[in-house]
Amino acid sequence: MALKILSVVGARPNFMKVAAICEAIKGINSLGAGEQIHHVLVHTGQHYDTNMSDSFFNDLELPRPDLCLGVGSASHSVQTARIMERFESVVLNEQPHLVLVVGDVNSTAACALVAKKTWCRGDGGVKYFIPKLAHVEAGLRSFDRTMPEEINRIVTDSISDYLFTTEESANQNLLHEGIPENRIFFVGNVMIDTLLRHRSKAHESTILQDLQLADGREVKPYAILTLHRPANVDDKRVFCHMLDSFLDISKRMPVIFPAHPRTLKRIQDEDLGDYFVDHFVQGPEPWDWRVRIRLVPPLGYLDFLRLMSEARVVLTDSGGIQEETTILGVQCITLRDSTERPVTLEHGTNVLVGSKPENIIREFNRVSLRGQELTRSPFYWDGNAAKRIIKVLIDDFCPEWSSVMAESALESESKELTQN
Ligand code: UD1
């Protein structure tokens, strides 16, 4: 009988993580021994716009979800409750051996709770069981409990059976919280699996030409801005002070701002349009180009990867971008006071500045002169994290398949890696 895994995606940062898992499962199922893993992909619909969701399925060649829950936007509690209500029927119908959740969004915590509270009817209807729960990207902590993501991480980790980690700090955090060591698996970073796999394809993107950032082969210096955390955009005073500093930077190099829908809504609600020029709807005054922040819609995965790869500096409050810039060697100024990913500070190009304009400008002045830097990749950020995850699950659920895998690339790769 195939091992049945039900994976959950909901919001933008989930897609690239689950893409790597899908790829590893495809690898196992193509070994010639039939379908070893039956994979069911569920999309909660937390993100639903084409730009925030559909384009990622195309760019990442993700299989279409088997089930869409269509929960949409709402307050945190309502959104979480809707996901739980709809996901419970999915678990009851599908009866998976394992539910796999990634990251720290509301969909992650909501589906984790459902997985561990639902009794499934086993074969023949006599044996009841609760599905096992795997959390990919476990153990990250910002130690800031005002962040909804931190709550989602703590809740999910506390009830998971398999905690797959990306960096050493995560292992230590989990041990300090009393998670038994035999549940923690240091496997590396699935988001980096996807980045490495798509890097050459992203090179074909025309985004630099579309945004007039490249003249032939020559790329002009530019900065990228991403901003969506409530702490930065919900308080008008904080948001405006930050925008003042980005405007200042715009006078020195173009600042390209693919705006998240929640940020765009804040801009519209607070009437902050004067800070921006819509890149694709140019105003009558040509000087606008030089002294305004250039607003563009949220970009697809390949376009954003290409844009990020050539940027002089990335200014961001995202979590995943801190990791991606680490691998790309691009200077990253994180607009937060804490990070749950300290390895990006130790190994990467990341620096924390918070939201104060004078700190943002000071750091920009310092790093924008530096250009890209080749850094030492964090351990196991090598493109094989998803394979390690699947190997752990197969060894536990179906040890008899280990012989099938013995000859496979997966087995030889993981042996090689353990010896390093
Ligand atoms: C969510 C995640 C955050 C992640 C971010 C990446 C949580 C708690 N937060 O934040 O960790 O970094 O996604 O994008 O899960 N909206 C749309 N269209 C969409 C999606 C959202 O218009 O496709 C708007 C809606 O107005 C919505 C708002 O964005 O109210 C917030 O969306 P939501 O999914 O609740 O949280 P994010 O801020 O996107």
Q: Both ends of the chain: CA-CA distance in Å? A: 35
Q: How far apart are CA 177 and CA 154, in angstroms?
A: 9
Q: Which residues of 236-257 are buried (b: 16+ CB within 10 A; e: fewer)?
A: eeebeebbebbbebbeebbbbb
Q: pLDDT tens for residues 95-149? A: 999 999 999 999 999 999 999 999 998 766 557 899 999 999 999 999 999 999 9
Residue from 68, 101, 105, 339 whose mutation best tests the ligand 1 pocket (most atoms within 8 A of CB)? 105
Backbone angles phi, psi at 160, to 5 degrees: -80, 150
What is the per-residue pLDDT for 125?
Answer: 59
Question: For residue 261, how far is its CA from the centre of ligand 1 (angstroms)?
Answer: 8
Shortest-distance atom of ligand 1 to CA 108: 15
- Name which residue sits closest to atom 35 of ligand 1, judged by CA: 73
pLDDT-derived band at 278 (thresholds 50, 70, 90) equals confident
Token pair of 115, please? 């997985």
Q: pLDDT tens for residues 392-417? A: 999 999 888 876 665 565 554 544 44
Mean pLDDT confidence for 298-304: 97
- Name which residue sits closest to atom 17 of ligand 1, judged by CA: 261
Active site residues: 228
Helices (H), 95-189: 106-115, 148-159, 168-176
Question: For residue 126, how far is its CA from the centre of ligand 1 (angstroms)?
Answer: 41
What is the per-residue pLDDT for 417?
Answer: 43
Strands 128-129, 120-121: pairing is antiparallel
What is the per-residue pLDDT for 48?
Answer: 96
Residue from 14, 46, 102 whose mutation best tests the ligand 1 pocket (most atoms within 8 A of CB)? 46
**DSSP 8-class letter at 383:** S
234-240 LR contacts (CB < 8 Å, sep 24+): 234/266, 236/270, 238/355, 239/266, 239/270, 239/272, 240/272
Cβ pair 160, 183 in contact under 8 A: yes
| Three state DSSP letters for 189-220 | CHHHHHHHHHHHHHCCCCHHHHCCCEECCEEC
Question: For residue 185, how far is its CA from the centre of ligand 1 (angstroms)?
Answer: 29
Question: For residue 4, how far is its CA from the centre of ligand 1 (angstroms)?
Answer: 29
Pocket of ligand 1 (CB under 6 A): 11-13, 46-49, 52, 73, 79, 104-106, 148-149, 228, 260-262, 265, 318
Shortest-distance atom of ligand 1 to CA 107: 15
Q: What percent of the chain has pLDDT over 70?
A: 92
Residue from 73, 80, 233, 339 whose mutation best tests the ligand 1 pocket (most atoms within 8 A of CB)? 73
Question: For residue 366, how far is its CA from the centre of ligand 1 (angstroms)?
Answer: 32
pLDDT-derived band at 88 (thresholds 50, 70, 90) equals very high
Q: How far apart are CA 125 and CA 216, in angstroms?
A: 66
Backbone angles phi, psi at 94, to 5 degrees: -85, -30
Question: For residue 270, how far is its CA from the centre of ligand 1 (angstroms)?
Answer: 19
Shortest-distance atom of ligand 1 to CA 46: 34
What is the per-residue pLDDT for 408?
Answer: 60
Q: Output 372 or 194, whichever has higher pLDDT.
A: 194
Is the pLDDT at 282 greater than 60? The verdict is no
What is the per-residue pLDDT for 401?
Answer: 80
Q: Output 277 or 285, whichever has higher pLDDT.
A: 277
Mean pLDDT confidence for 264-279: 92
Shortest-distance atom of ligand 1 to CA 148: 8
Least confident among 12-26, 213-227, 370-384: 370-384
Using alpha carbons, select from 242, 251, 236 the residue that is nearest to residue 356.
242
Mean pLDDT confidence for 337-349: 94
Q: How far apart are CA 35 and CA 406, in angstroms?
A: 17
Shortest-distance atom of ligand 1 to CA 318: 12
